[in-house]
């Protein structure tokens, strides 16, 4: 637990309790001396038994992490496989991953807002604006190189997020209002752009199959290339995790024993081998073989790894957690709260642009008829179901991965059973409410134990 102690006044504030965020910076600078940040209650474990004991203590305290959603995902897979043998087929698993990739990226985008105890209702709409801008630039009559169009789309989405974040942080307009206005306004912008382009028949722009963007979802590596990429990825991951844990042990910080570090590396390796093996199974129709890892898999993994490093290893990431847990204490610690919050909204919109690009690749086009509302809500569901707290200060990019896969797994399972759209959305709604209930109970237990 992090404790912020003011010099001279002897007061302490736990970062797990939300305080009022409406005091101006100037007043705080005049009335509150520069604080000192101290870290307490660090778990230093030297053996497997101590690690298991500490893990049990965290579970009893409500810090279950991704355990509930992983359990739910396993149950979903078992139940639907019993009901229909096609559920765990190679083609269905790849379809689940492709469907989940968009919600994983949208969930990560929403994580930036949720960690600050905010909400972004425009996240999918902004991502689709970026995808439409990219498609407009790549296709006739502009014919830009795909990479230049992607860069412009990313910059446009980041700028939109920065504008909305500025309205939220500087003018103190609630994020719900600003992003709801953004959801409506940017949909109007989509219509405006397609009206200007006479080649967009019915508001639809097609992406040629020869374009690399089209191939992100619709093409795959060769089986050999998939294994080579896996070996390289596992090597990088293993070196990073081993070095990180060794450094923390040397500094007497919380770190798992070496046996747990090895177990994590082995588990990730086994999961990677399983995914590559499934993707290399021929899932094409008769006479048209289709095998190999689709390109969206490494794309999503790279984005997840990048944001994981940002949240876990950079000052910007630590500041987001601090602000989400206690904005007033973070301000007293000298953090520029307004700047970090604005940057967080910009980074969330930037991540949404990747989701829009993957969506355009899967569809092979961009259209103004896309239902951004359902994508936004399912993106929020992916983050919350994965374990990101609605109350701020708790969550990781990896939570959106497991949450997005769970949403997609449930969707495809119900689809194979012939359940209609209304039943599917109600089932996802029940899962979302259950995740929110768990989050609320965990927070209540934490606050009770802190008193």
| Pair 382, 404: CB distance under 8 Å | yes
Residue bearing tokens 């199974």: 281
**19: confidence class by pLDDT, cuts 50, 70, 90:** very low
15-33 per-residue burial string, b: 16 or more CB within 10 A, e: under 16: bbebeeeeeeeeeeeeebe
Summary mean pLDDT of the chain: 83
Residue bearing tokens 């509150």: 32
Over range 292-301, report the average pLDDT: 94
Residue bearing tokens 């490494």: 298
If DSSP codes are grouped into helix, strand and coil, which group holds residue 38? strand
Alpha helices by DSSP H, listed for 173-219, are 175-196, 212-218
**447: confidence class by pLDDT, cuts 50, 70, 90:** low
Instruction: Give CA–CA dist 19/28, Å, rounded.
Output: 14
The DSSP symbol for 282 reads -
For residue 274, the model assigns a pLDDT of 94
For residue 8, the model assigns a pLDDT of 41
- Domains detected in the chain: 2-219+294-450 (1.10.3470)
369 closest CA partner among 187, 236, 115, 214: 187
**195: confidence class by pLDDT, cuts 50, 70, 90:** confident
Q: Higher-confidence residue: 194 or 122?
A: 122
**1: confidence class by pLDDT, cuts 50, 70, 90:** very low
**434: confidence class by pLDDT, cuts 50, 70, 90:** confident
Over range 136-152, report the average pLDDT: 92
Strand partners, 3: 14, 38
Instruction: Give CA–CA dist 328/319, Å, rounded.
Output: 12
Percent of the chain with pLDDT over 90: 52
Q: What is the pLDDT of residues 339-377, one digit of tens each?
A: 999 999 999 999 999 999 999 999 999 988 888 888 998
Q: What is the pLDDT of residues 42-95, one digit of tens each?
A: 344 456 676 777 777 666 665 666 777 888 889 999 999 998 888 999 999 999
Which range among 24-28, 203-207, 211-215 shows the weakest confidence by mean pLDDT? 24-28
If DSSP codes are grouped into helix, strand and coil, which group holds residue 220? strand
Cα distances (Å, whole numbers) of residue 245 to 53, 251, 255, 258, 398: 18, 10, 6, 8, 19
Residue bearing tokens 């990073």: 240
364 closest CA partner among 174, 204, 203, 238: 204
């Amino acid at each position: 637990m992090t404790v912020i102690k003011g010099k001279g006044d002897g007061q302490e504030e736990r970062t797990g309790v939300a305080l009022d965020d409406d005091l101006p910076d100037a007043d705080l600078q005049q009335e509150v001396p520069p604080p000192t940040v101290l870290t307490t209650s660090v778990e230093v474990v030297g053996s497997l038994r101590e690690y298991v004991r500490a893990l049990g203590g965290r579970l009893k305290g409500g810090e279950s992490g991704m355990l509930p959603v992983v359990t739910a995902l396993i149950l979903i897979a078992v139940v639907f496989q019993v009901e229909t043998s096609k559920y765990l087929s190679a083609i269905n698993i790849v379809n689940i991953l492709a469907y989940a990739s968009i919600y994983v990226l949208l969930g990560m985008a929403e994580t930036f807002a949720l960690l600050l105890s905010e909400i972004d209702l425009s996240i999918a709409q902004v991502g689709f604006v970026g995808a439409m801008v990219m498609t407009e630039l790549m296709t006739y009559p502009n014919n830009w190189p795909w990479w230049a169009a992607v860069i412009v789309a990313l910059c446009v989405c980041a700028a939109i997020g920065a504008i909305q974040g500025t309205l939220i942080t500087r003018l103190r307009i609630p994020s719900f209002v600003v992003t709801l206005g953004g959801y409506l306004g940017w949909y109007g912008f989509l219509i405006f752009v397609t009206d200007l382009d006479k080649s967009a028949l019915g508001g639809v722009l097609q992406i040629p199959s020869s374009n690399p963007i089209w191939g992100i979802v619709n093409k795959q590596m060769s089986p050999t290339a998939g294994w080579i990429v896996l070996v390289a990825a596992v090597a990088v991951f293993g070196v990073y995790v081993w070095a990180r844990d060794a450094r923390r042990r040397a500094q007497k910080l919380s770190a798992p024993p070496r046996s747990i570090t090895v177990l994590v590396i082995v588990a990730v390796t086994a999961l990677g081998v399983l995914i590559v093996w499934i993707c290399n199974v021929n899932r094409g129709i008769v006479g048209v073989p289709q095998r190999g890892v689709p390109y969206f898999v490494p794309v999503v993994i790279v984005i997840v790894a990048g944001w994981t490093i940002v949240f876990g290893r950079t000052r910007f990431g630590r500041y987001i957690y601090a602000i989400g847990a206690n904005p007033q204490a973070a301000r007293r610690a000298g953090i520029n709260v307004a700047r970090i919050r604005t940057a967080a909204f910009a980074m969330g919109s930037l991540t949404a642009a990747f989701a829009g690009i993957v969506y355009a690749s899967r569809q092979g086009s961009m259209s103004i008829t896309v239902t951004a509302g359902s994508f936004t809500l399912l993106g929020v569901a992916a983050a919350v179901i994965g374990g990101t707290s609605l109350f701020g200060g708790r969550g990781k990019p990896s939570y959106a991965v497991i949450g997005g896969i769970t949403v997609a797994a449930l969707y495809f399972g119900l689809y194979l059973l012939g359940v209609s759209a209304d039943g599917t959305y109600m089932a996802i709604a029940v899962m979302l409410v259950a995740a929110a209930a768990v989050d609320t109970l965990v927070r209540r237990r934490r606050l009770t134990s802190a008193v």
